[in-house]
Amino acid sequence: MKQNINHSREEHDKIIENANVQMLDGETINDMSGLFKVLSDPTRLKILSAIGNEEVCVCCISEILGMSVSAVSHQLKTLRQARLVKARRDGRNIYYSLDDHHVGTLLEIMLEHMRERK
């Protein structure tokens, strides 16, 4: 290990100690990584964007994205499993919405972060 000459050994040790205290556990890291993996798919991001703050049926999402209902349903299953969307059945129709306000906030923060770098 090469010690940074810009701070003392005590400062170095304190930085290491603080990092170890605040570092997330392995299971949480894996769960977060999985969530980012789900969000890394452009089609899934388009679906989340199309849903927005509304409740939208599969056929509408299909038409908005120009995809088959089957293809959209497949992506919605992945989004449901990641708890990013929830479904509500009304007769023969299934309506999707963001699972909770955190999903919308997450998307807004990602977008804000991207825009500030431009």
Per-residue pLDDT of the chain (118 residues; tens, 9 = 90+): 555 467 888 999 899 998 888 999 999 999 999 999 999 999 999 999 999 999 999 999 999 999 999 999 999 999 999 999 999 999 999 999 999 999 999 999 999 999 997 6
* 67 within some domain: yes
Domain of 69, in residue numbers: 41-116
Q: What is the CATH number of the domain that holds 71?
A: 1.10.10.10
Q: What is the rounded CA–CA span in Å between residue 74 and residue 84?
A: 14
Number of domains in the chain: 1
Alpha-helical segments (H) within the chain = 9-22, 26-39, 42-51, 58-65, 69-81, 101-116
* 91 within some domain: yes
Burial class, 75, CB count within 10 angstroms (exposed 0-12 / middle 13-18 / buried 19+): buried
* 36 within some domain: no
* 34 within some domain: no
* 6 within some domain: no
* 27 within some domain: no
What sign does the dihedral 53-57-58-59 (CA atoms) show?
negative
* 16 within some domain: no
